[in-house]
Structure 1
Amino acid sequence: MNERVDVQSHGHVRLLRFRNPPQNFATVSLLREIADCLETTDADPQVRAVVLASDGKAFCAGADLISPNGFGAVGDDPLAEFYAQAVRIFASRKPIVAAVQGAAVGAGLGLALAADFRVATAEARFAANFVKLGFHPGFGLTHSLPRVIGHQRATQMFLTGARYKAEDVAAWGLVDRLASSDGLLEAALAFASEVAENAPLSLLATRATLRAGLVDDIRAALAHEHREQLKLQNTADFAEGVRAMTERRPGRFEGR
């Protein structure tokens, strides 16, 4: 039984709809449940494609960097626990369509990029806002984001930390299809059904070829990101970045 992920079948499409109100913050347990559901889906020969969606106004507003142990970890290295589940998500074998509404920020952007495709509403916002927090990108984004939109545009997203509208990043390839707010899930399911009508063994083989080496590349990116995040998490700038976020103001950084 999943506490945070509802599972529904729509023909050969499996809908995974997660929730962690109010902002759908990513936690170790949430990512573990998503990864568990994807592994179950991989083992089901009736499922050919997956829709990953969420309840609420935000797809996923990232990790909770404010609350004590916001990652929901049990050990002394929360980031390592968090990223172990991210690797499992990237390692899933069947095509995934992410249905994105509201914020897909930080780890939420990383989760959306673990999917093969993204369907988004006009109100969706995408951000790799780590520099605004005095932090280093994570969730494998230093590999997955440029892989999808190219190095230059990824550099722009990383170094500005700005939020981008869905219609703007659709031209970059970050969003594959736009949908109305009340038609998002229907559009994502329709997209996944287009994939799922095809031969299942061919789908698996083709996707595996297109993603060859991806999991190893994500592991390598995560290892580097983890090291850099550990360096920065005890700096004055990171503490200021978190304060600035809670107070909804620009950070006053000093480079220490």
Structure 2
Amino acid sequence: MNSEFGDHVRVALNGNVATVTLNRPPHNFVSVEFMRDLADAMMALDAEPAARAIVLQAEGKSFSAGADFASPNDRVASGMEGINDLYVEAVRLYSVATPIVAAVQGAAIGAGLGLALVADFRVAAPEARFSANFVKLGFHPGFGITLALPRIIGEQRAALMMLTGRRVKAEEALAWGLADEVVPADDLRAAAQRLAAEIAEAAPLAVVETRRTLRADLAQAIKARTDIEHVKQTVLRATDDFQEGVRSVAERRPGNFQGR
């Protein structure tokens, strides 16, 4: 099975491990169409009996830098309707039954962090950076991050990330459980493949059912949480602080926020 979904998602199946490649370099900015194609690819692999584990990897400098707030043509960055449509795809991604290992070679920021959190495991290169930078934009976290991040690293560390917007380096992410392995960049994809192959060697029905128990009603919980996040984001998008946040990020400077 070797196929393409849309313009930016490639799928290859080698034995029982499927590889899904995000191919929108250099930063793999999310879009509704891009995430829809990714969800379609993942769902297609769910229907493929030979696919017992998935490696999610990305071309370019970043794993995903989230929404492109510097582009006036980005539907996710420019309007709440686009964000709502994006969250529909986020719920679909969380509904995937096949285990996922993400290979994170660079920045996973904003919605890109949310995408990395969809995976069961994250193998990171030393250059990887994880950031929920929404408050630096004068915005509220989305993509289910307010639920998924505390679930993985705990409430306190998740609050630290979300209330500061700081970038967490790979080694710190490893200590926190946000990354499961840190390996040299040259070995990143091979290491992700090894972990996926280890999963794929186990009894597939047992793996899927165990994962279903562990994740319980996670997709439904993400749906409920993104509904809340969307409401908060709609309010904050109308503020002066949001406009200043977008400008400051585009100009690579700290925001001058006024609380209005």
| Fold shared per TM-score above 0.5 | yes
4+ runs of 1 displaced by more than 6 Å?
none
Question: Match of 1:223?
Answer: 227
Question: In the alignment, which of 232, 237, 242 is matched to residue 238 of structure 1?
Answer: 242
Question: Match of 1:55?
Answer: 59
| One-letter identity of the residue aligned with 1:192 | A
Question: In the alignment, which of 181, 201, 218 is matched to residue 205 of structure 2?
Answer: 201
Q: Secondary structure at the match of 1:77?
A: helix
| One-letter identity of the residue aligned with 1:252 | N
CA 1:85–1:69 in 2, change beyond 3 Å: closer, same or farther?
farther
Question: Match of 1:7?
Answer: 11
- Residue identity (%): 54
Cα separation, 2, equivalents of 1:34 and 1:237: 32
CA 1:100–1:76 in 2, change beyond 3 Å: closer, same or farther?
closer
* Conservation of the 8 A alpha-carbon contact between 1:28 and 1:72: yes
| One-letter identity of the residue aligned with 1:8 | A
Question: Match of 1:255?
Answer: 259
CA 1:76–1:188 in 2, change beyond 3 Å: closer, same or farther?
closer
Question: Match of 1:177?
Answer: 181
Q: Please list the CA deviations of residues 159-206 of structure 1 after superposition, one character each: whole Å capped at 9, or x if unmatched.
A: 110001010011111000111111111110011000000111111111
Equivalent residue runs for 1:34-183 within 5 Å: 34-71=38-75, 77-183=81-187
Question: Match of 1:186?
Answer: 190
Deviation at 1:139, TM superposition (A): 0.3
Counting matched residue pairs gives 256
Return 5+ residue gaps in structure 2 as ranges.
none
| One-letter identity of the residue aligned with 1:205 | E
Return 5+ residue gaps in structure 1 as ranges.
none
Cα separation, 2, equivalents of 1:76 and 1:232: 11
Cα separation, 2, equivalents of 1:159 and 1:87: 24
Cα separation, 2, equivalents of 1:219 and 1:72: 18
Deviation at 1:97, TM superposition (A): 0.1
TM-score by length of structure 1 reads 0.97
Deviation at 1:11, TM superposition (A): 1.2
